Amino acid sequence: MRRLVLGCGTVGNAIVDELAARPGTLHVITDDSGRATALRDENVAAAEADPRNSAGYPDSADLVVVAGESTTTNLTVADRARDSFPDAVIVAYAGEDATEADLQALREIADRVIDPIGVTAARVLGVATGETADRLRQMLRALRSVDGTLAVVAHDNPDPDAIASAVALVRVAEFAGVTAEACYYGEISHQENRALVNLLDIEMRTLDPEVDPREEFAAFALVDHSRPGVNDSLPSDIEPVVVVDHHPPREPVDAGFVDLRDGVGSTSTLLAEYLDRFGLTPDEQVSTALLYGIRIDTKDFTREVSEADFDAAAYLLAHADASVLDRVESPSVNSEMLSVLAAAIENRQRRGTAVASCVGEIRDRDALAQAAERLLALEGIDTTLVYGYRDGVVYVSGRARGGDVDLGETLRDALGQIGSAGGHADMAGAQIPLGILGAAGDDSTESLTDIVRDTVAERFFETLADAPSAPVGTTDQSVTFPDED
């Protein structure tokens, strides 16, 4: 980490003291001759020069801290630092006499503006050091490479984690100066998901799978999934500029910037971290959505939960609307969900501790997930699979508990050859085009429902007999840019 401090007032002194004890290089430029001499005596590389003169800057820097006392000077220094180091993370101290107009001007230049009220050096530096700083810098660089409108794409038929992550990444993109829209294919049909979108007035754009999105969008970012054309309807040859996900990938992800960390319980946790590290106070809409996304994907902090999930929830809670969460979590239950649950119970096939159930043709695909969750309550059952079909596609939803089986990998092995499948160790799904199954159903005495049931159940139970174990450890993939060390 190459760090540069420009100006060295009271705040600058504290920052330098913090940075001097950390790994990496530190270079200080100050017009205070006494301070420059004292720093050199402490083995800190310090030059006595005008911080406004960019000719004296080093060749490169990853983090630039503008820390003079004067607001006017800091504005000038920040502007010249941005010109000199376009890819660096710039943290600018506002100065002691900053007006609201000054703060706004600094925000247009720097990645983080430090208001002098209540600020400590440790808090300033905590957002931009080590591995975290590298992620911040790379994400900003990727976003700033977009020339046009960015589509932030959730997976098809998005759940709360995907919805929240998409709107949060739009906020980060706007912070980077990029116009962005939250998008998805399919529909939002689950009662709680619809309630979330409606009560928070979340704007998400439904994309048409028959239209190439590259006709309108300059670039694409993926949240809560990692590969175009897999669990979304994007063309598979698109290379995203940003991918943020917490699901373990089966193969390397090709994108400009990738943050894959399956050691956390939700993608919403990662987006909350970015908002916090960039110093962006999330509004009520984003905070409430992210908090709900964390709660749903961790099953109220009981499934695959990490310390980071608790930290993110605590950060978001102060800005979220608890009354909206109460209303989202208590939606009315429609008749379709009750019909699917009844069919799942009636048509269940059991082998050992696993149950699979075909419910036939459906109207609401999200009812499958609710039925799969409910079937886990059956005595002696630790793995469930509920599936049905509509509009030429078989939709599959599975649940597991106990940690002995990696359900996401099991469904990939069982159904990945005839469709797309994957997910968590204890929560997964699949989509299978009816294709020849539909044709066989038209020409055979066997009903389409029977063909779907036999095909999916046979593959599932056969694979489950030698199922992959739940993963141990975490995946943490951050793809750097080719010209970086």
Domain boundaries, the chain: 2-125, 140-330, 335-464
Higher per-residue confidence, 349 vs 113 = 349
Running DSSP on this structure, what letter comes out for residue 216?
Answer: T
Is residue 136 within 8 A of residue 128, CB to CB? The reply is yes
Is residue 241 within 8 A of residue 143, CB to CB? The reply is yes
The torsion angles phi and psi of 317, rounded to 5 degrees, stand at -60, -35
Residue 182 confidence (pLDDT) above 70? yes
Of 1, 188, 165, 169, nearest in space to 89 by CA: 1
Please give the C-alpha separations between residue 298 and each of 268, 313, 424, in angstroms, as whole numbers.
11, 11, 11
100/60 Cα distance (integer angstroms): 31
CATH architecture of the domain with range 2-125:
3-Layer(aba) Sandwich (3.40)
Is residue 455 within 8 A of residue 400, CB to CB? The reply is no
H and E: helices and strands count for the chain: 17, 19
At residue 332 the predicted structure's pLDDT band, cuts being 50, 70 and 90, is: low
DSSP notation for 84-112: H-TTSEEEEE--TT--HHHHHHHHTT-SE
Instruction: Let me know if the fold of 140-330 is the same as that of 335-464.
Output: no
Q: What pLDDT sits at residue 330?
A: 66
Angle at 216 between CA 143 and CA 275, to 5 degrees: 30
Tell me which CATH code domain 140-330 carries.
3.90.1640.10
Contacts of residue 451, Cβ cutoff 8 Å, sequence gap at least 6: 437, 440, 441, 444
Is residue 298 within 8 A of residue 264, CB to CB? The reply is no
68/28 Cα distance (integer angstroms): 12
352/354 Cα distance (integer angstroms): 6
7/28 Cα distance (integer angstroms): 8
Across 472-481, average pLDDT: 41
Percent of residues, the chain, with pLDDT higher than 90: 48
In whole numbers, what is the pLDDT of the chain averaged over residues?
85
- Residue type for 266, please? S
Q: Which CATH number fits domain 335-464: 3.10.310.30, 3.40.50.1100, 3.40.50.720, 3.30.559.10?
A: 3.10.310.30
Of 81, 215, 219, nearest in space to 149 by CA: 219
Higher per-residue confidence, 410 vs 98 = 410
| CA 174, chain centre distance (Å) | 16
65: enclosing H helix or E strand: strand 63-66
400-448 pLDDT, tens per residue? 887 578 888 899 899 988 888 887 777 888 999 987 565 554 555 468 8
Kindly report the length of the chain. Answer: 485
> pTM for the whole thing?
0.61
The 3-state DSSP class for residue 190 equals: coil
Please give the C-alpha separations between residue 266 and each of 163, 260, 262, 269, 291, in angstroms, as whole numbers.
12, 11, 8, 5, 10
The tokens describing 149, both together, are: 């409108």
Angle at 394 between CA 390 and CA 396, to 5 degrees: 120
375/384 Cα distance (integer angstroms): 7
At residue 43 the predicted structure's pLDDT band, cuts being 50, 70 and 90, is: confident
Please give the C-alpha separations between residue 425 and each of 145, 232, 247, 429, in angstroms, as whole numbers.
35, 20, 10, 11
Q: What pLDDT sits at residue 350?
A: 94
The tokens describing 114, both together, are: 């430090």
